[in-house]
Amino acid sequence: MTFLRNFWQEEKGQDLIEYTLLMAFVALASAALFLGAGGSITTVWTKMNTHLASAAAQ
């Protein structure tokens, strides 16, 4: 019973788990932003390419 009580109160690995969860959240949020911004970047790139092509043709 003492072993279980000591194991339950042990906090040595708690910081490592918290930082790992925080890093996982940041990674997922970054991936979501990059995926969401991909369509916008493609649209801007296509418009700029069209404008440059028409400017070069004149």
Q: For 5-50, what is each residue's pLDDT tens digit?
A: 776 676 666 777 888 999 999 999 999 888 888 778 888 899 999 9
Distance CA 36, CA 51 (A): 24
- What is the predicted pLDDT for the residue at 35? 85
- What is the predicted pLDDT for the residue at 11? 65
Helix intervals (H) in the chain: 2-9, 14-57
- What is the predicted pLDDT for the residue at 39? 79
Domain ranges of the chain: 23-58
Distance CA 49, CA 42 (A): 10
For residue 38, give the nearest of 26, 49, 50, 30 by alpha carbon: 30
- What is the predicted pLDDT for the residue at 46? 92
pTM above 0.95, yes or no: no
pLDDT of 55 above 70: yes
